[in-house]
Amino acid sequence: MNCPYCSSENFKVLESRDSLDSIRRRRECDKCGKRFTTYEKIAIDLMVIKKDGRKEPFSTDKLRKGISLALEKRPFTADNVDEIVKSIERELKKLKSHEVSSKIIGDRVIRKLKAIDHVAYMRFASVYKDFEKVDDFKEELKILAK
């Protein structure tokens, strides 16, 4: 990376702020003293292996959508959703793997939701686990009641 004004490669970072999928850094060039902002994308280089064996690139949007749906009309804000998405992404990065099964991701979402809201947890679990029988639901409720 070079300073857009003088092409120097040396700068100070004045401020850096994380957003969901990028890091914004305010920089000051050591040579000419001008300031500029850079955005670094935090790409998650991850393939998700689905239940049927197909693979698709990990999608933050998809993860966020699933969690938002589960938390719909519950007392949570978009920031809460982002927090959960971020923490799951952090955990996935820690796996240091290029492939992860959709089950591992789903299990993590379920664990987070369970910790914050039982209704959201049940909603997500019912979709995610493909509950076919009412009995499955009852089993989950029993686990929750403990």
6 binds Zn ion (CB under 5 A): yes
Closest approach, Cβ 41 to Zn ion, in A, equals: 23
SS (H, E, C) the chain: CCCCCCCCCCEEEEEEEECCCEEEEEEEECCCCCEEEEEEECCCCCEEECCCCCEEECCHHHHHHHHHHHHCCCCCCHHHHHHHHHHHHHHHHHCCCCEEEHHHHHHHHHHHHHHHCHHHHHHHHHHHCCCCCHHHHHHHHHHHHC
63 binds Zn ion (CB under 5 A): no
Site string (20-49) toward Zn ion, x via CB under 5 A: ---------x-xx-----------------
Closest approach, Cβ 32 to Zn ion, in A, equals: 3
Closest approach, Cβ 23 to Zn ion, in A, equals: 21
- From the list 2, 8, 16, 59, which residue makes contact with Zn ion (rule: CB under 5 A)? 8
Closest approach, Cβ 63 to Zn ion, in A, equals: 39
5 binds Zn ion (CB under 5 A): yes
Residue with tokens 């938390």: 71
120 binds Zn ion (CB under 5 A): no
Contact residues for Zn ion (CB under 5 A)?
3, 5-6, 8, 29, 31-32
